[in-house]
């Protein structure tokens, strides 16, 4: 069974590291996800809200669902009740909306700040400086129903492994800086979400706590 072999390969890779495996199931059928689930994998990530909600409703309820894609404020309400971690906070206004919806559900939603570490212009996220300012903002402190658990980043799509490593390292350095300098109730720095099918090995070496792996587990999309 190919999926099981692929998962085992990754469990072997992260053994004795601080890294956890996030199986990116976007575009794949509930049946395929169930196949992975039945081998013991219970942590999945999607990048579109509608697809995430549909899969949440169909699949076993002990699955931990992560959102890794761009999130529009008007869609937060659909996932607020069940989402485990939102990796893709890229605006203060989005964080405010997550806080509002979390409050309605009487829970705290864990979030990561998506940081722009790649060279490409098209990638979403905050600059380091913007993210740091956000956490310093007095308005931020009033958000009691969100908790910033760390940062997420995507490296440049390139064969230059030195560049990828430097980008991951810059994210890890920023993580450490926030951890050491920001002392707020709703900031509990624990997670660094970095590394995908093409660059997870470098990410693990650079201290990733979540690698987000799709095609290397489920095959081509
Ligand atoms: C699709 C996606 C991944 C996984 O990509 P693969 O190359 O298939 O491993 C990781 N992170 C984000 C944000 C994604 O959208």
Residue of 48, 68, 192, 196 best suited for mutating to test ligand 1, as the one with most atoms within 8 Å of CB:
196
- Over residues 155-196, the pLDDT tens digits come to 999 999 999 999 999 999 999 999 999 999 999 999 999 999
Cα–Cα separations (whole angstroms), residue 146 to 36, 58, 81, 151, 182: 30, 27, 13, 14, 16
Residues flanking ligand 1, CB < 6 Å: 24, 26, 47, 68-69, 196-198, 212-216
- Gap between the Cα atoms of 25 and 4, Å rounded: 14
What does the pLDDT look like over 11-54, one tens digit per residue? Answer: 999 999 999 999 999 999 999 999 999 999 999 999 999 999 99
pTM, two decimals, is 0.97
Q: What is the mean pLDDT of residues 120-143?
A: 91
- Tell me if 95 sits within 8 A of 119, measured CB to CB: no
Question: With pLDDT > 90 as the criterion, what percentage of the chain qualifies?
Answer: 96
Cβ-contact 124, 152 below 8 angstroms? no
| pLDDT, mean of residues 124-129 | 93
- Cα–Cα dist 14/6, whole Å: 13
How much is the average pLDDT of 123-127?
84
Nearest CA among 144, 152, 151 for reference residue 184: 144
């Amino acid at each position: 069974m190919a999926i099981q072999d692929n998962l085992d390969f990754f469990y072997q890779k992260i053994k004795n590291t601080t890294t956890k495996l996030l199986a990116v199931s976007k575009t794949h059928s509930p049946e395929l996800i169930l196949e992975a689930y039945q081998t013991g994998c219970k942590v999945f990530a999607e990048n579109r809200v509608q697809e995430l909600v549909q899969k949440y409703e169909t699949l076993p309820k002990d699955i931990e669902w992560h959102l890794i894609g761009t999130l529009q404020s008007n869609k937060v309400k659909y996932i607020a009740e069940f989402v485990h971690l939102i990796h893709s906070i890229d605006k203060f206004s989005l964080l405010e909306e997550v806080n509002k919806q979390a409050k309605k559900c009487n829970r705290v939603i864990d979030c990561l700040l998506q940081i722009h570490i790649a060279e490409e212009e098209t990638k979403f996220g905050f600059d380091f400086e913007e993210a740091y300012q956000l956490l310093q903002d007095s308005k931020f402190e009033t958000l009691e129903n969100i908790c910033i658990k760390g940062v997420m980043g995507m490296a440049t799509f390139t064969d230059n492994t030195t560049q990828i490593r430097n980008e991951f390292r810059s994210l890890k350095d920023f993580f450490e800086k926030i951890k050491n300098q920001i002392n707020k109730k709703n900031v509990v720095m624990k997670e660094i979400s970095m590394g995908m099918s093409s660059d997870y090995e470098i990410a693990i070496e650079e201290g990733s706590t979540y690698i987000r792996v799709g095609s290397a587990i489920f095959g081509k999309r």
